[in-house]
Chain A
Amino acid sequence: RKEVEQDPGPFNVPEGATVAFNCTYSNSASQSFFWYRQDCRKEPKLLMSVYSSGNEDGRFTAQLNRASQYISLLIRDSKLSDSATYLCVVNGGGYNKLIFGAGTRLAVHP
């Protein structure tokens, strides 16, 4: 079983749609959680950290459920520019390495 699992997609949605990505992780000792965005043939870039209380950044909302070891990302009012791969990332407890999911690809069309 992979340490971080994501639905690979792709998710094909029209502009303005709301889309949700889910992620599960296996290491209950994980302390930090992130969503990174990766454009085609580019490096991953931090989209947002995920906090236990849930957090929002504009059109993006992230949720964490530690009991279920589940992370989600909600994108509202999708834009063409949101088309990318979204990587669910956890940081193992006490270690500095990031553990990435395989990513969920999003394609937003006009």
Chain B
Amino acid sequence: DTGVSQNPRHKITKRGQNVTFRCDPISEHNRLYWYRQTLGQGPEFLTYFQNEAQLEKSRLLSDRFSAERPKGSFSTLEIQRTEQGDSAMYLCASSRGLAIQETQYFGPGTRLLVL
């Protein structure tokens, strides 16, 4: 399967714990995006990488959130001191990076539940 992959698929944690999610984009896709989706809502943009550079961050991305893409391939999203409001589906997407605006392909998501 050459699509976007995400791990883990599900994560249950206690409030106050740190969690880290991983995203592997489609091979040779230069752009990588993180979104968050809560029940009954559409996905909301969190952040975007062009290769290893983080070029945009949403106001939704508080100081407890950090994302990296150290070698321009896979990316990690870490949430520190989790809160119950962080419970959501975290989606990763990638695109080729050849045009200003282009199709994004989504991974299956990581579903986080904070108790």
Contact = CB atoms under 8 A, between A and B. Distances in A.
Contact of A96 (B40, B48, B109): B48
Q: Which interface class (under 10, 10 to 19, 20 to 34, 35 or more) fits A?
A: 20 to 34
Interface string B29-73: 001010100001111110010000001101000000000000000
Contact of A43 (B31, B58, B100, B108): B108
Contact of A97 (B40, B56, B106, B109): B56
Given A43-B109, A97-B33, A103 B42 contact: yes
Nearest to A34: B103
B45 A43 contact: no
A97 B48 contact: yes
B104 interface: yes
Interface in A81-110: 87, 89, 91, 94-103
Nearest to A42: B108
Given A96-B33, A96-B56, A97-B56, A91 B40 contact: no
A87 B42 contact: yes
Contacts of A46: 103-105
Q: Which 9 A-B pairs have the closest CB atoms?
A: A100-B42, A97-B45, A43-B106, A32-B101, A91-B101, A100-B43, A102-B42, A43-B108, A87-B42
